[in-house]
Amino acid sequence: MILGVNKFSRYHSAVRPEENRAGFLKAISESQPFLFAMNDSKPEKIKRSGFVEKWARAEETSAFLGLSLYAVVIFCIALLVTLFKVSTKPQAIYYIPSAQEAGIAYPNRIEKVTVCGFASNWLLNRNNFTPITVKDTYQRAMRYMSPELLSRTKASLEDEISRVTRDNISSLFSLSKEPESEDSGTDFQVTLTGEKIIFMGKEKLDDRILRYTVTLQRISPIETNPYGLVIAGVKQEEVETK
């Protein structure tokens, strides 16, 4: 519009009004394509810039979502690994070895007091019975015996149960010394010394001091045997008294 007006004003004084009008219209018509072209270029630039901005934002959003996905996947894998380790790790088991004290069985570690307490409790249970309780007593004793020892002695234990019931035999046993234990690396040897008295009815048949050497083997602790030990062998010998 400015170019047209300038062109019109430059020749206004030299031409007639009719020529001025015709020249003005011609100048305007010549300048219109240029003006329209300038006006049309602005929306195209705006459209192009808006598309680029949207594309850049989409790229940023896509990158953010990708990183978030990788982070979630890594977190899930770490969580699964942690849960697997926790579920497969041996846990400490609480137990009561005697009426006076309680203890904890830690994985892959057996204390000396645990070994001695296990052997003492097993032997006291094994050697204290009456005709009424002998069956339950021997069943509890067999529960903590190794499969090899049980296979060798099960028949003799059943015969002993029949003899005790038939002859009305009772047994009393008590420790006279503190237990002594040795760890060979593969098993434990516990020495127990005590007095054993045998009755037939109310009549005393025998009274001796006996020494027992009990061999124990390690096993994985379970709910029914939290000690992680089994009886692998029992050796009995008489102690001479002066």
Does 203 fall in a domain?
Answer: yes
Task: Look at 93 and 208; give whichever has higher pLDDT.
Answer: 208
Residue 160 has pLDDT above 70, yes or no: yes
In a domain, 180, yes or no: yes
In a domain? residue 34: yes
Structural domain that includes position 155 = 110-238
Q: Do 131 and 234 belong to one domain?
A: yes
| Count of domains forming the chain | 2
Our measurement of the distance from residue 153's CA atom to the centroid of its chain's CA atoms, rounded to an integer in Å, reads 39
Tell me the per-residue pLDDT of 82-141, one tens digit each, with 9 for 90 and over: 888 887 776 655 555 554 555 555 566 677 888 888 999 999 999 999 999 999 999 999
Terminal CA-CA length for the chain: 140
**Same-domain check for residues 69 and 185:** no
Q: Please check whether residue 126 lies inside any domain of the structure.
A: yes
Say yes or no: 30 and 123 in one domain: no
Q: Are residues 135 and 74 in the same domain?
A: no
State how beta strands 103-105 and 187-200 pair.
unpaired
Output the pLDDT for position 27: 53
pTM listed for this prediction: 0.56
Outline where DSSP puts E strands in the chain: 93-95, 103-105, 169-175, 180-183, 187-200, 203-218, 229-238
Whose CA is closest to 183, among 242, 114, 135, 236? 114
